[in-house]
Amino acid sequence: MIHNNQLREHVFSPSQEEVLSILLPWQKEYWKAVKLKKEELKQEILFLENQRSDHTVAIRELKKTRRKLTDAAINSLKNDLKEYLFFEQKKRCYYCEGEFYKNRTGVGKPTIDHIANKAIYPHFLYISRNLVLACSECNGFTKKGTKNVIVSGCTKTNYYDLNSDDFTFVHPYLDKKEEHMDYDEENNVWFTVNHSEKGRKSIEIFQLNEPYYVIGRYKKDNESLNEDDENMIETITNYTE
């Protein structure tokens, strides 16, 4: 059994401190500017509301502009963070370790994954330790999507009080991936380390050993397929079913 140590060294999640270094300066400067602009708009809205004439349309447009400023701030943050994580993770998805592509020939486009579901835990939305870059497939609804990966019964409200045991799968920052799961390069499949339940859950959530992905990894590593290769693909299919 061959361990893909080279891949292990090249695919990683950046430290939460580094992610935080991207978030904090941006938040301070950008939100300061947005706050000033929104305050100006607020004063304009109050002025119009105090006038006797009908300024309903103008007020509605000004309120819409305030919302757009907030949206612009969030989009700017997402783009900056996505670019940073893209290169820190060596252009690979943290979960499946596949390369990001801008078209449908690869594992999918890079997306920011909120590790703890943002719909369930909105207060964790921009916590640095809760953000990692994942491909659109792994982050899609058929895989991780909106799944709740925090253990049932956990009542902690501060993200930094959470630890590895509070998550059902391998956490990008709180766990060392190689202690829970690893890659068998010879058979192109993932396996658990020391019967790790978190490793098993990660392999299950992201369907890492489904024949489609196993064969895809094999073809990528062996671009020119011959008859022996086709036989190997059949073996892989049988191995993973």
User: Which of 53, 71, 88 corresponds to the end of one domain?
Assistant: 88
Task: At 161, give phi and psi (nearest 5°).
Answer: -90, -15
49 plus 159 within the same structural domain? no
On whether the CB atoms of residues 191 and 34 are closer than 8 A, the answer is no
68 and 95 share one domain: no
End of a domain among 88, 107, 142?
A: 88
Overall domain count for the chain: 2
218 plus 130 within the same structural domain: yes
139 and 121 inside one domain:
yes
220 shares a domain with 130: yes
For residues 39 and 128, membership in a common domain is answered with no
Domain that holds residue 207: 5-10+91-240
d(CA 137, CA 135): 5
Q: Which two tokens stand for residue 141?
A: 């609804």
Examine the domain organization and report whether 27 and 136 are in the same domain: no
Weakest-pLDDT range from 8-17, 138-147, 174-183, 186-195: 8-17
Between CA 70 and CA 75 the distance in angstroms is: 9
Using one digit for the tens of pLDDT, what is the confidence trace for 93-124? 899 888 887 544 445 788 889 999 988 888 88
Same domain, 80 and 114: no
Give the SS3 label for residue 70. Answer: helix
Global pTM value: 0.65
Structure tokens at 192: 């658990």
Query: Mind listing the pLDDT tens digit for each residue in 23-68?
Result: 555 556 555 656 656 665 566 556 555 654 555 555 565 566 556 6
Do 151 and 54 lie in one domain? The reply is no
CB-based contact 150:167 (threshold 8 Å): yes
Using alpha carbons only, give the angle 34, 39, 43 rounded to the nearest 5 degrees: 150
